[in-house]
Amino acid sequence: MAPVRASSWLASTLLLALGCSSEVANPNPVDAGTDAPAVDAPAVDVPVDAGRPMRSPQPIFGACDSAAECRDGMICRRAADTGLPGGQCNRECTRDDECVLFLPGGKPIDGFCQAADREGRRYCARVCANGIDCERDGYTCQGINAGTINAVNICIPVCTATSCIDGTVCDHESGRCRPAGAPAPTGRTLGQSCVANTDPAMTAATVCQSGLCNPQVTRDSTGAPFQTGNNGGFCVSRCILPQGYNSSNIWTDMELPRSNCPANGICFISRTFAEGDLGTCVQSCTQDSDCRVSEGYACRKTFRVTATRTRTFANGFCEPFDCAATGARACPTGYTCRRSMSGTTVVGDCVPST
């Protein structure tokens, strides 16, 4: 059985967020805290805290730049070393109960002992229900281990222009802070072609800096190669949703927001509309020529909100176009329209002709 049409990867997320049925057409994926963590990032980030005084010792998950700023003998996972926005007081762990955050007069906040990193060390992560729970600028909430008994939502780093301090700046591709003046990372950037990290053919030059590639080829349930319609693959990255997304008209303004995406990105919903929650950075556009037209991509600016109402924005994002839609263009040279069913609707992907 073939996987669900892959080029509709954002369609399913909008369906989930709207809470609608098939009437919604494909729109096609305690310190330094703030209640509004996502802000529009400047073109070039700069450190924001030159010469700040030392903090009083912080609890687990608090901001730090040295172990002296952490309580109870914890280590400081410095932003310059780990990419964690603002640094993070933490400890090595073997059990979840070693990761609980105790606040004076408050209810304990659960923690999660993460899988070992490349050096074999396990560190704590804060458990969350939504992005606001994470309580720190540059962090939001993501589910991991879905479909297993270890499924949990934890706070993850997705840096903003204001969250990278102590001599670091935000790398909006990876969502991590890096030392100011450090060489730019290698790899593919938002919207560019890519090879998945798990592909044996991957190299440092072909993987996304974000680590998130929507690949051209996946495997179906039998293990056979399956063309997704994401021709050449394309890079996406993570962002933090700003205030303004909603189920009535998708976004409040006429121009979809960048938030903390790279300069050529739009921060679009992943599963919810809520401010502070995890979003997906996709390549922004205002016309088809901004996209990789020769590989079957087009600029999507119109979204169906209900069975009778659509919303068109001044900008949009590049996605593989539906070649089976009424009035759709023909697939580019070298590609064929592969039709399939999505519920009761015929949809089409441009896939390589050979």
- Give the domain ranges of the chain: 6-29+231-352, 67-179
* pLDDT for position 119: 93
* pLDDT for position 50: 55
* pLDDT for position 35: 34
Q: Could you tell me the pTM of the whole model? A: 0.85
* pLDDT for position 48: 54
* pLDDT for position 182: 92
User: In the chain, how many H helices and how many E strands?
Assistant: 2, 21
- Residue the block writes with tokens 């394309």: 234
Residue 323: CA atoms inside 13 Å, Cβ hemisphere, count? 22
Nearest CA among 295, 270, 296 for reference residue 282? 270
Contact between 36 and 243 (Cβ < 8 Å): yes
* pLDDT for position 200: 83
Nearest CA among 45, 90, 37, 38 for reference residue 64? 90
139: its two tokens: 């962090």
DSSP states of 230-283 as a string?
A: -TT-EE-EEEEPPBTEETTTEESSSS---TTS-TTEEEEESS---TTSEEEEEE
* pLDDT for position 340: 93
* pLDDT for position 46: 55
> Is the Cα dihedral 227, 320, 147, 131 positive or negative?
positive
Which residues of the chain carry a pLDDT beneath 70? 1-52
* pLDDT for position 44: 47
Contacts of residue 270, defined as CB under 8 A and 6 or more positions apart, other chains included, come to 13, 29, 277, 278, 279, 280
Contact between 130 and 141 (Cβ < 8 Å): yes
Helices marked H in the chain: 9-18, 79-82
